[in-house]
Every structure is written in C-alpha cells, then in structure tokens.
Chain A
Amino acid sequence: MTFLLRTVSRSAEGREIVRTARVEGDRLAIGRAPDSDVHLTDLAVALHHAVVERAGPRLGVRVETGLTVELNGRKCASGTIELGTGGDILIASHLLRFMPTPPEADEIQVAVERITEGEAKLDKSAERLFTLAPVMPGKRMLAWLLALLVLGIGLAWPIHAYYERQQRTERFARFQADEIWSSGHLSQAHAALQHDCSACHAKPFESVRDTACLACHTDIHGHADPFRLARARPDLGRWGRIQLAFKQAFNLPPGRCIDCHTEHQGDQRMAPPPQHFCSECHNDLHAKLPDTRLGNAGDFGRLHPQFQPLVVAGWRGDRPLLRRASLDLHPREDNGLKFPHALHLGASGGVAQMARTLGMGPAMACKDCHQANPDGVRFRPVEMERNCAMCHDLAFDSVGGTIRTLRHGDPAQVIADLRALYAGRTAPPPPSLSPFARRPPGTASTARERIQFSRGAGAPGAEAAIRAVFSPGGACYDCHRVEAPPPGSLAWRIAPVAFPTRYIGHGWFDHRAHATQSCTSCHAAGRSQSASDLLIPGIATCRTCHGGERTSKPVASTCAMCHDYHRDEGAPAMLIRQQVRGQRRAPALVPAAAAGAP
C-alpha cells in the first residue's frame, strides 16, 4: 500500500512546481506537525489534524476531536471516500485531492495544493488599495443617486402634484408637493391660498394673469379708462425697451396686477406698491393727457397740486352750487350762515364769560360744537339744537314752569307761535322792552324775566314781535341770512344753509390719526371773522409734517397714504389693512404742550 503525494505549488510567474513523495503504509497522517505524512504549513491546520486510513475499497477519514475538514465540499468530523470515485479534503487553505483508483490498485495518488486567494492580487492593486475607492461607494454612482433623488423630490413629485390637483375641485387644506416650489410664504391676505398653487398659477409655463386675481377681487376698478391709462404711460427709454423685450420673450405681458402687487414675499401684510408706480404716469400727466383736470403729482413733498376742496360757490334757488376750487385761489364759502369763529373762540369777552358760566372751561373750544363721528375720521354736522342752543336758546314763554321755544328751522311755525302768544293783547310794547330785541345770549331764566316784565308793562303786538325776531338784532338774524317779505306781508324767509359733507373727495384724511395735534394748528379758526372763510388747510400745512416717500420730515407719505388706485371712496386699502390688523402706526408726533412737560 502506497500513497503517492504530488505537492503542487506555483512560482511567482504562475508556473506549476510539482514535488512528489511516497508514503508507504495504509495510514496517512495530516497536520502541521513536522512528523506528519502530509505536512501543511498553515497556522489554521492543527498539529495532528486528520488521519486517512485505507479500509478495503474505501478510505476512512478521522479528524481530531473538536476539529473539522471539508470532505467533498461538506464540513464534517469524520467520513469515507470511495476509492473508485475519489474525493477532496479541504483543510484550511490546503486541498487534498484523492484521485479515482481501482479498488485492487496498490498506489493511491493524492494531489496536495495550496489554494492562494488574494495574496497575488494584493501586490498588483496596491495603489488602488491606498485610495478611498475600496471603502467608498463610487463617485459616479453617488452622483447618479443624488441627482435622481433631487430630481425626483424637486421636480417629478411637484409636477405630479400639479396634475393631480387638476383632477380635483375641492380646496386644499394640507401640504401639497408643489409647495416646495414656493419661493416664499404668501402674504397674510392670501394665506388661505398657501396650499393651492393653481389658484393663481393656473397654467404651467404661463405667467399669472389678472383673471386669477379678478376671480376673487370682483369689486375693484382698473383706475381709469384703459385707453387713457395706456396713453398716460411714459415713453420707454432704451432700458425700458430692453426690459420690455425680455418680458415679451419670457411671456410676461406688462400691466398685470402682479406688476405692482408682488407676492411670495413672506408671511406679512402685502407691501403697498411703491410710489413710482403712480409717479411714472402722474409725474408728467399733462404732457401725455393734455385734457386732464388732474395736476401733475410725483411726490407729496415735491410735486403735488394744491388741494381743491368742494365749496358752496353760490345758490340756484334753494340748491347750493358746489364747485371745486384750488385753495390757492382763496375761495370763499357761501354757506348761508353768519358765524365768526374768532369771536366764539376768544379767550375773553362775552362768549368766554358764557362758556365759564356753563362750565365749559375758561373759554369755548372747538369740541364744544364739533363732535367727531363714531369712527373718528370726520365730524358730525353742526346742529343748532345740539351745538348752538345751549347759548343761543330760542325760549320765548314759560307756562307753569315749562319753557316754550321757537321752532328752529321752521319760520312759518315761529310766526304762528308768536301770533298765538300775543293773541288778545292790545298795546304794542315799547321797542326797548321787546323780548326779541337783540341781546347777548343769556340763560333762559333772564330771557323769561324779560318776557314776564314786558308782559306786565303792557302787551306788545304780534306783528312787531315777528318783525323784530327776523330783523337785525333779532334771534334769527343773528346767525342767518334773512329774506325780507314783500311790503305788507309777514312771510319772512331764512336763506338755506348747506355744507359739503366732505370737502376733499379724492384724498383721504383721518382726523383721529391727527389727534395729537390741536385743531387750530391746521384750521385757522381763531382768526376767522366770517363764516364764509374756508378753514380747510392748504398743502403747505400738511407738508410741515408730511414729506414724500423719502423725506426728512417726520411722516414719510407715499401716494397710497391718501389715495387708492382702485377705489374712489373710503379709506385707502393700505390704511384699512393697517387698521384691521392693529398695525396702525402710533402717532409719532408729540403735542407741543406734552413735549414741554417733564
């Protein structure tokens, strides 16, 4: 019995080197021990790893306790090899190949080979091993992965969301993928549209059109006749033409809502359009629209026409003729009243005395007659009964402690009441004792005493009393223009009284916003001797505090502070938004009196 060992090794060039050895006997000891029949120099092999013993037509494989070999590819601790078919034993890195042998043969060939993996490769790929390539995913693969990921999230997902949106009609309350395209939060006014991009961006690759805005904003007008608007546009300079060419190239038609109203600027109120949107046309409007009645206006501080309030210019019968007139022309108001503001506001004299008696303070003040509307913007119309009668009372009789007064605003009733008072009386009173003689306004009680005295002195005639009340020195004549009746008649008439409900109709002025200022700092009432003085302050008065968009004055004022592009009446949208959100700026000006106080 012989085992013929063929130990195969390879040279550096890969050439096979075969050494042969013969082992006599039936037993083949395999291990790392030098006395083994098959000496394997691999530290993974035990000193006495396994024994192969011939037993008739087969070989028995016995492995040392606790160790294993791979027998024909199967890990095991013992086993057999049929001589006829041969078999492989793998111990660590060594492969023992038992060649097929006829059972009666005396010699069994065994090939011993070291399976070397990796070692040779190490040398050739040394340079590559030192780079990061083996431990990192490839740059190219990373690049593709990241690029596809970004395209998927940033492009495909939102586009899918857009087309899905087209299939639905209900509003969107949750996040939609195309919101990641939003360049900034919508303004507070449009916050409800945050999830609904298509509300404005109706068609892909088409810029936002006015139809999207007008779908909700149905009650605004477009400022002026579109043709006049177009004519008023300033000529484009070279730069303007370049910009226009770009806009046309990129499908951005000019003159859209969003030209002025820019969105996606953050969670705040939409900024009022800056002044230049107005001044572009209005700066030199006369040149473009010669027939316009508007003065050129470019900046409140520099270029703005004088105010043109509505005034009662005259009368056609009982109808007032209202006309706008520039304050530069010093228009006078034919309102039908006689009222010297200076006399009433005087610090001394009869009026002041009366004010003290009535507990109004040292003298009369504006507020004693002029009371603000509930919104504080304007003032209630002055009414005789409410605002004048506390001094100018029309009492003429007392019956059992009840005072009778002449009815204001109804001359015929006054005449009838006086006739009734004097019915049955005969002797006319001396004119000096007439109760209706001109007198400084007094309390009701003094008036009554005089009436009672005059009654005791002798009953005056009704006709004389009526004539007296409508004549110079009479109660009506004091304040009103009286139209005398034809001779022989007593049909006295009072000229009608009228004021415009709003003097400045095309600009907004809010009195409450100016509450820090005294009335007379703007309205020259203290010097006004006549009711026909128009006490509307001119633009110079406003300009003491208000400048244009960029100014050193305390209040920078753009056009939008007083005017509204889309509306004619009411407060400008900018002020309404400020007020609704409580962002109204606190008046920055400190009253002169308060400023002096410590």
Chain B
Amino acid sequence: MATGSIPRTTLGEGASHEGFLRHKGFRWLKIALFLCLAAGLAYILIDVQPRPSGGSWVGYTLGTLATLLILWLTMLGLRKRAMTRGRWSLKGWTSAHVYLGLSLIVIATLHTGFQFGWNVHTLAYALMMLVILSGIYGIVAYSILPEALSASRGEMTRPQMIDAVMKLDRQLQLGAQPLGHEDTAIVSASIAESPFKGGLLSRLSGRRPRCRTARALALLRPRLVAAVGPGGEALEAVVALLERKAAALARIRRHLRLKAQLEVWLYVHVPLTFALIAALAAHIVSVFFYW
C-alpha cells in the first residue's frame, strides 16, 4: 500500500452511460483501424508473385489472423453469459467484438487476394460476410429500435398487453351470448385466434392479412345499420368490443414487429457463425489435405 497518497474520488463507470460503441473513447475502433491499415499496407507494399493470394506468406499471415479473430469473436456467445465490470468488462468485450468483427471485412478480403470461385474457400468467405452483415444490421437495430420499442408499449408491460386482449375476449364471450349461431361463430373465431399467430414474415411486417378480429369487424359492422331490438344492442356492444380488441391487437403487433426486427438478426448471426466455423474448418483442412 503506497503511503502518503491521497485517496481520490473516482467517478465509476456507472456515473455516466457510455455505450459499447463509444467504449473508452473508441479504443477498439482505433485498434481495428490500425489492424486494417497494417493489413492494407502489407497487401500493397509486399509484392507477392505471381499475384496476391491466400497461399502466399502474406496470405497465410492474414488468414491466421482472421481465423483467430473469428474464433475469439465467437467466444462472445460464452462471455456474454457472465456480466462483469472492469478492464475486461462485457461492454469492452462487446465493443471489441463489433470493431474487430468489422475489421475482418478488410483482413479476410485481403487474405483472399480477390480470388473467388465456386469452392469451399469462397463459401467460408461468403458466410463470414453474411455474419458480418447481419452483425451490422444488429448494431443499427440496437441503436434505433429500443427507443421505438419502449414507446410502442404505451406504459404497459407485456403481460398487461395480453391481459387486455384476454379481458376483451371474456367480455366478448359474454356480450355475444344473445347472438345467433352464425354470428357467434364469427366472434368465436376472433376469440379463438391467438394474438401471436403468424410466422416470421407476419411478425416482421406487423401485418396480419387474415386477422379474425378484423374479419369479424368487417362482417358485423355493416349489419349495425339494420339491427334493431335487443339483438341490435348486443351486436352494437360486440362491435364496440371488437374495435377495442383490434386496437389492443394493433399495439401487440407493433410491439411484436419491433421486437422481431430487433431479434431477427441473431437468427442469422448465430447459426451462420457456426456454419462459418464449419466452413473455416473445411477450408483449413482442405488446404492441408491437398497441401
């Protein structure tokens, strides 16, 4: 313990928010740029004969660097499960993941020597580029969408959103009791349909072309004009409930759309990363197999 030193009050990391992109004054951006610059200079200045390729010593060096980077970048999947602070904080790790991942565009492309073909080597390169592109989408999504996602909740939690729909469903159940069999079938269809029905495309677009609630509204609303008596009142109540349900569903779907847009890239990024590692293994083994 040093004596005589005055303990200082340091502002911890929590004092102000600094995103992973700006982490430590763009430290990893600078490191990644340095890597790209070094690789670019090596490519330009070293005259490889007969032409630059992955098989020259520059090519092998860049390839080894790129492989190590890819394996390290994959480790984020393990690392993210342990959230820590400090020098090797998860935030720093993520920052490095983003910038070193982007630097692979330069390093791996120079490794190829711009020689592409229908072979396992270009497959590995293409998969890597797809992983990086999906990652770029992820960065953009993470910087734009979360704000819209919070806004789309309208001060509600997700279970509350579902609950709102379920309450309306119960009210519809009661309100539709006086209706005839055909009309109840229409309302039942709306009640039976899960708000989460629909596949990936439907979620990403936020549209549901055959929404039963919309269909019920489209069928029942025109009948309001002709409806009289107690049946008419019941129909009026049901249509009002259906309209409220449609609004609640729209909120859920907007939320689902944003959430899907925020998450979908990981379904490309993660599986393709493993495909990339497999292709990388095939690429390296094939080079040595036919050495």
**A interface residues with partner B (beta carbon < 8 Å):** 32, 41-44, 46-47, 119, 122-123, 126-127, 129-132, 134-136, 139, 142-151, 153-155, 158-159, 162, 178-185, 197, 201, 204-208, 243, 246, 250-252, 262, 264-266, 271, 274, 276
- CB-defined contacts of B163 to chain A, threshold 8 Å: 123
Q: Which residues of B are in contact with A by a Cβ distance under 8 Å?
A: 49-51, 53-55, 57, 115, 117-121, 123, 127, 158-159, 161-163, 166, 173-174, 176-177, 181, 184-185, 187-188, 191, 196, 198-200, 203, 255-256, 259-260, 263-264, 266-267, 270-275, 277-279, 281-283, 285-291
Whether B286 and A155, one on each chain, are in contact in the complex, defined by CB atoms closer than 8 angstroms, is yes
Contact at B279–A246, with CB atoms within 8 Å? no
Most A Cβ at <10 Å: residue of B263, B285, B290 = B290
In the bound assembly, the distance between CA atoms of A45 and B260 in angstroms comes to 37
Q: How far is the CA of A47 from the CA of B185 in the complex (A)?
A: 12
Contact of B282 among A41, A122, A131, A154 (CB under 8 A): A154
Among residues of A, the one whose C-beta sits closest to the C-beta of B186 is: A43
B residues in contact with A142, CB < 8 Å: 267, 270-271
Residues of chain B within 8 A of A129, CB atoms compared = 158, 162, 196
- Taking a contact as CB atoms under 8 Å apart, the answer to whether A150 and B203 are in contact is no
Contact A180 to B271, CB < 8 A, known contacts A41-B173, A136-B200: no
| 7 extra interface residue pairs, beta carbon distance < 8 Å, beyond A146-B278, A154-B283, A183-B117 | A127-B159, A129-B158, A179-B119, A181-B121, A182-B117, A201-B289, A204-B289
Given A132-B263, A142-B267, A271-B50, decide whether A150 and B282 contact each other with a Cβ distance below 8 A: yes
Contact in complex: A146, B274 (CB < 8 Å):
yes
Query: In the complex, which of the residues A183, A252, A262, A265 contacts B119, with contact meaning CB atoms closer than 8 Å?
Result: A183
Interface centre among B55, B123, B282, B283, by most A CB within 10 Å? B282
Q: Are A181 and B181 in contact (CB under 8 A)?
A: no
Indicate whether A151 sits within 8 Å of B119 (C-beta atoms), given known contacts A47-B181, A181-B286, A246-B57. Answer: no
Query: Shortest CB–CB separation between residue A65 and chain B, in angstroms?
Result: 12
B274 touches which of A147, A178, A197, A204 (Cβ 8 Å):
A147
User: Please, could you name 5 A-B residue pairs with CB atoms under 8 Å apart, sorted by A?
Assistant: A47-B181, A119-B166, A154-B120, A182-B117, A183-B55
Whole-angstrom distance between the alpha carbons of A155 and B120 in the complex?
Answer: 9
Cβ of A157 to closest chain B Cβ, rounded Å:
10
For B123, the chain A residues whose CB sits under 8 A away are 150, 154
By beta carbon, the residue of chain A nearest B282 is A154
By a CB distance below 8 angstroms, the chain A residues around B177 are 32, 41, 43
Q: Please, which residues of chain A bring their CB within 8 A of the CB of B273?
A: 143
* CB <8 Å contact, A162 and B115: no
Tell me which residues across on chain A come within 8 A of B278, comparing CB atoms: 146-151, 154-155
Residues of A within 8 A of B266 (CB): 139
Residues of B within 8 A of A264 (CB): 55
Q: Which residue of A lies closest to B202 (CB)?
A: A135
Residues of B within 8 A of A131 (CB): 259, 263
Question: Could you say which residues of chain A place their CB within 8 Å of the CB of B277?
Answer: 147
Decide if A162 touches B289 in the complex (CB within 8 Å).
yes
Does A43 lie within 8 Å of B184, measured CB to CB? yes
Q: Contact: A181 with B279, CB < 8 Å?
A: no
Total A-B residue contacts, Cβ distance less than 8 Å: 164
Contact B282 A151 (CB under 8 A): yes
Compute how far the CA of A183 lies from the CA of B52 in the bound complex, rounded to whole angstroms: 13
Given contacts A136-B267, A144-B274, A146-B271, contact A181 B50 (CB under 8 A): no
Query: Which chain B positions have C-beta within 8 A of A271?
Result: 50-51
Contact of A132 with B267 at beta-carbon distance under 8 Å, contacts A143-B273, A155-B286, A181-B119 already known: yes
CA distance A126 to B291 in the complex (A): 55
Query: How many Å from the CB of B52 to the closest CB on chain A?
Result: 11
> A44, A126, A162, A262: which contacts B50 (Cβ < 8 A)?
A262
Q: How far apart are B202's CB and chain A's nearest CB, in angstroms?
A: 8
User: Nearest-CB distance from A528 to chain B (Å)?
Assistant: 44
State whether B199 touches A135 (Cβ < 8 A).
yes
User: Are the CB atoms of B166 and A205 closer together than 8 Å?
Assistant: no
Residue in B166, B196, B278 with the greatest tally of chain A CB atoms within 10 Å: B278
Cα distance A80–B23 in the bound complex, in angstroms: 76
Q: Are A205 and B117 in contact (CB under 8 A)?
A: no
Q: Determine which of A130, A147, A201 lies in contact with B158 in the assembled complex, contact meaning CB atoms within 8 Å.
A: A130
Asked if residues B51 and A122 are in contact (CB atoms below 8 Å), the reply is: no
Distance to closest chain A CB from B145 (angstroms): 13
Q: Nearest Cβ in chain B — how far from A53, in angstroms?
A: 23
- Closest A residue to B283 using CB positions: A154
Complex-state Cα separation, A197 to B291, whole angstroms: 11
Q: A135-B200, A271-B50, A276-B49 are in contact. Are A41 and B174 (CB under 8 A)?
A: yes
CA distance A42 to B264 in the complex (A): 38
Task: Give, as a whole number of angstroms, the nearest-CB distance from A565 to chain B.
Answer: 15
Complex CA gap A251/B263 in Å reads 47
> Which residue of chain A lies nearest to B56 when distances are taken between CB atoms in the complex?
A262
User: Given the known A-B contacts A132-B200, A183-B121, are A126 and B259 also in contact in the complex, defined by CB atoms under 8 Å?
Assistant: no
Q: Would you call B117 and A46 a contact (CB within 8 A)?
A: no
- Distance, CA A130 to CA B262, complexed state (A): 11
Bound Cα distance from A564 to B44, whole angstroms: 31
Q: Which residue of A lies closest to B183 (CB)?
A: A43
Q: Are the C-beta atoms of A151 and B281 separated by less than 8 Å? A: yes
Q: Are B174 and A126 in contact (CB under 8 A)?
A: no
Q: Across the interface, do B49 and A132 meet the contact criterion of CB distance under 8 Å? A: no
The answer on a CB contact under 8 Å between A139 and B267 is yes
Q: A153 vs B123: C-alpha distance in the bound complex, in angstroms?
A: 11
B271 adjacent to A130 (CB under 8 Å):
no
Contact check, A43 vs B188: say whether CB atoms are below 8 A apart: yes
Which residue of A has the minimal Cβ distance to B263?
Answer: A132
**Closest A-chain residue to B271, C-beta based?**
A142
Docked CA distance A148–B49 (Å):
37
From known contacts A135-B199, A142-B271, infer whether A180 and B176 are also in contact, taking CB-CB under 8 Å. no
Give Cα distance in the complex from A403 to B123, angstroms: 85
Q: State in angstroms the CA–CA spacing of A197 and B49 once bound together.
A: 23
Q: Complex Cα distance A253/B173, Å?
A: 83
Q: Which residues of B contact A179 (CB under 8 A)?
A: 119
What residues on A are CB-neighbors of B255 within 8 Å? 130
Known: A146-B272, A154-B278. A122 touches B290 (CB 8 A): no
Q: Tell me the bound Cα distance from A216 to B54 in angstroms.
A: 28
Q: Assess whether A155 is in contact with B281, with CB atoms less than 8 Å apart.
A: yes
User: Known contacts A43-B191, A142-B267: does B117 contact A185 (CB below 8 Å)?
Assistant: yes
Q: With a CB–CB cut-off of 8 A, which chain A residues contact B199?
A: 135
Cα–Cα distance between A539 and B162 once the two chains are bound (Å)? 92
A276→B188 CA distance, assembly (Å): 84
